[in-house]
Amino acid sequence: MVYWEPDHYYFLTSSTFLHYPLFNSFDAKKIVLDRILQVENSLMSCFGYSVAVNHQHSIFKPQTSEDFSKAKKIINGGSAYDYNKKFPLKIKNKNYFWGDVKTLKILGEETYWKIIGYVSGNLLKHREVKSFKELYNSPFSSFRKVVDEYGMRFAQDLVLNVINLPDVESNLNSFIKELTIEVENEESISPH
């Protein structure tokens, strides 16, 4: 058994076998997201996640070595099981679901923030969403979580520092303006 050091951040990345696009629908992606959220609700906090058409990324900080081993089983094993129940694969060997599975221990604050930016912006990188607005509204990315905690500009800078997105900057100012209007409207109608 692998020893996962407690109280360290870990980056878990799993891609489907041969990068096959198994998660090409809302329902298929939700299977993986539900398993990530199960880990967050039962074992440890999730500091970032992304579910793309052929892979998932997540960031956790286990309290015990066993917690992280359990988390990997819940996410990878559980999502493969749930997927095969809902969308039966027409292959002989059901073990061909996840291909590459890697876990990296995150060392240092700078690396932590780069991985947070990479994970939260991953759907934008792979063009599964077309703008920061779509990324913010996607349930399959932790980008909204970063925005809510640190602000829109900080979250966008995190993503843009690790993912080259030349066509995204043009949508940036209009999205910030829309969010500002939404926040102002919410504040003006909320009771005090």
Q: What is the CATH number of the domain that holds 67?
A: 3.30.70.1290
Q: Is pLDDT at 180 greater than 60 in this prediction?
A: no
Q: Does 5 fall in a domain?
A: no
CA atoms of 150 and 66, how far apart (whole Å): 31
Could you read off the pLDDT of 112-162 as tens digits, one per residue? Answer: 999 999 999 999 999 999 999 999 999 999 999 999 999 999 999 999 998
Q: How confident is the model over 61-76, as a mean pLDDT?
A: 90
Q: Does 29 fall in a domain?
A: yes
Q: Does 100 fall in a domain?
A: yes
DSSP string spanning 77-141?
Answer: IHHHHHHHHHS---SS-TT-SEEEEEEEE--SHHHHHHHHHHHHTHHHHTTSSSSHHHHHH-TTB
Q: Which domain holds residue 89?
A: 10-189
pTM score: 0.82
Model pLDDT, residue 163: 85
Q: How confident is the model over 61-83, as a mean pLDDT?
A: 91
- The domain tally of the chain equals 1
Q: Does 2 fall in a domain?
A: no
Q: What percent of the chain has pLDDT over 90?
A: 64
CA atoms of 46 and 69, how far apart (whole Å): 15
